[in-house]
Amino acid sequence: MSHSSKAPSPVGSVDQHAPLHLGHSRLRSEVVNSVYSQSSYSNSADSTAASSVEDIRIHRSLPTGVYVPTVCFFEETTEDLDLNAIARHAVRLAEAGVAGITTQGSNGEAVHLTHQERKIVTSVTRRALNEAGFASMPIIVGCGAQSTRETIELCKDAAISGGDFALVLPPSYYKPSLKSNSVIEFFEDVATASPIPILIYNYPGAVSGTDLDSDAIIKLAGHPNIVGCKLTCGNTGKLNRIAAATQAATPADHGSGFMCMGGSADFTLQMLVGGGSGVICGLANVVPKACVEIFNVYQTGDLAKTQKLQGIVARGDWAAIAGGIVGTKSALQTYFGYGGLARKPLPRPTIEDTKRYAGGFEEVVALEKSL
């Protein structure tokens, strides 16, 4: 299977109404684009931050490596977006050597943001990276929603805000009513109408247990605007099968260019051994250098050292998983002086919580500060 034609076009040059070849009827593509071509959410009078992103778009690809689903920062008293913290954090991650940034993911509290706030976060991140000398770094934008229509709208918002790729969850709210092919058609329709390429986000815990199997993802990988997947299901066998079938990109071989990615830092080594392309991991918000180090050392051939690093990172990742976004932000605040609080109704950590979170991250932060 070849994905050599899957490189994204600059956003400004995309014809959002041009049908894509799906391997089934051209008519379906034309219908999808006709139905979803009109915007119902964009408000030009309320798009200052998004429209201020430079009109000149750089052609960005997805290199193999570590990607960070960035946390979103808020002012403590008002819960307004803390734009300075959002920008500084993105630059800190880029300087640590990550391959790319993901906004509007689970760690980014996308479900707590309005459409306009989502656009602002992405545009601020893009501008901060550009101004710091990282204009070539790609941004993946979480665009999951329950309806096909809103998901496409979010993909369009991501494109105009400076995003290069969209990360899309399957719909789940009406799961009992969905037919066997509904999710496949959902991804095909979104990919056909999206102005930017998409990655399939398989995260059963966030979507009522919906767990796409390898057959479904391999089938969807044949769509020319689906360029990768993120497997937060943690199923390494599934990753192996998808990577092999798609000839996924690896650090040693670009292959088809399809990105078969793990969804957490605790199986970075397993992903690499299994032929994967990288990880999109929340732990890298706190310790980006440590996460990147596993990737780099593995490529030197020092398996023993890689295993040791993976053990430290896996223990730190368990602290991140157990503490969730509240614990991740608390650790950032404790060890790096910023982080703040999550939006309500997520709880404020107590003194005891803060100590517990700090203890869970202590070992991996020590590794981070040694690099």
Pair 249, 3: CB distance under 8 Å: no
Q: What is the structure's pLDDT at 206?
A: 72
Is the pTM of the predicted complex or chain greater than 0.85?
A: yes
Give residue for tokens 């992903």. 271
Pair 53, 162: CB distance under 8 Å: yes
| 295 CB neighbour count, 10 Å cutoff | 23
pLDDT tops 80 at residue 118: yes
How confident is the model over 257-274, as a mean pLDDT? 96
Q: What is the structure's pLDDT at 318?
A: 97
| 346 CB neighbour count, 10 Å cutoff | 14
Tokens of 221: 């990988």
| pLDDT digit string, tens, across residues 42-98 | 443 344 444 444 544 678 999 999 999 999 999 999 999 999 999 999 999 999 999
| pLDDT digit string, tens, across residues 224-254 | 999 999 999 888 889 999 999 999 999 999 9
Percent with pLDDT over 70 in the chain: 84
Q: Active site includes 219?
A: no
Tokens of 231: 């497997």
Q: What is the structure's pLDDT at 361?
A: 98
Q: What is the structure's pLDDT at 43?
A: 41
Residues 6 or more apart whose Cβ sits within 8 Å of residue 352: none
| 97 CB neighbour count, 10 Å cutoff | 16
| 27 CB neighbour count, 10 Å cutoff | 9
Residues 6 or more apart whose Cβ sits within 8 Å of residue 247: 1, 2, 3, 255, 256, 258
More confident site: 84 or 178 = 84
Q: How confident is the model at residue 210 (pLDDT cuts 50, 70, 90)?
A: confident
Which residue in the list 230, 238, 289, 329 is annotated as catalytic? 230
Q: How far apart are CA 264 and CA 205, in angstroms?
A: 13
Give residue for tokens 């180090």. 293
